[in-house]
Amino acid sequence: MSDIPCIYEMSMINENDKLKEDIINGKALDILLILLSGSKTIKEISKDLNVPSFSAQLYVQRLIEANLIKITDLKVVEGKLEKTYDLASSDVEVLNYLKNSCKGDDNKNDLELSAQHFASLTRDIIRNINKYSDKPHKIKAYFIKADEETMLGFKKDLDDLFSKYQALENLDASDTYGFISVLAPYKLKEN
């Protein structure tokens, strides 16, 4: 067989910058959402995603390299190494809030905020804008050139806004609203 440049890396996945594209495709996001409901093994992730384990491992590996998830437990069961994965950081605030909301509270089952369904719920929220156009709604995306300090201020304001309305939640209300925000660097100047 032909020669190639020597592969010195020992990692199982070594590719170009695929992660952004994959998150857009929703697969990486799906794994993040799956991990909302707690730690998962590859077998569990592949079952939830309905993909073979090798496929789940590709996405998991990308998320590990992006420092979004991490291995939190390693155990050997009958000679087989089981790795347990979890979200890497508690700074994924939206996800953690939902996670806390989901945990051990059967009264909230009707909200269907399980991690596995979150991506489809997001799509549903957007569809509902048209369906319930008389109800409060807003989609806003903005790409801003700004320094880090300004954005830290924005993040703080966003946190405050979340806290304010979380505190106002009325569990007896008949309507449920969805609010999703993403604030992250889009394009940074390379050093």
Residues contributing to the site for other proteins (CB under 8 A): 1-10, 12-16, 18, 22, 25, 41-43, 46, 51-55, 57-58, 61, 76-77, 79-83
Q: Characterize 61-89 residue by residue with b for buried, 16 or more Cβ atoms within 10 angstroms of its Cβ, and e for exposed.
A: bbbbeeebbeeeeeeeeeeeeeebbebbe
State in angstroms the smallest separation of the CB of 154 from other proteins. 33
State in angstroms the smallest separation of the CB of 72 from other proteins. 15
Select 75 or 156, whichever has its Cβ closest to other proteins.
75
State in angstroms the smallest separation of the CB of 6 from other proteins. 4
Q: Of 30, 94, 99, 95, give the one whose Cα is nearest residue 62.
A: 30
Mode of pairing for the β-strands spanning 80-87 and 40-41: antiparallel
State in angstroms the smallest separation of the CB of 172 from other proteins. 44
Quick one: 55 exposed, middle or buried, by C-beta within 10 A (0-12, 13-18, 19+)? middle
Torsion of CA 29, 34, 37, 40, to 10 degrees: -120
Q: CA-to-CA distance for 137 and 151, rounded, in angstroms?
A: 24
State in angstroms the smallest separation of the CB of 115 from other proteins. 20
Select 8 or 143, whichever has its Cβ closest to other proteins.
8
Select 37 or 57, whichever has its Cβ closest to other proteins.
57
Select 7 or 184, whichever has its Cβ closest to other proteins.
7
Select 56 or 102, whichever has its Cβ closest to other proteins.
56
The DSSP annotation for 26-53 comes to THHHHHHHHGGGS-EEHHHHHHHHTS-H
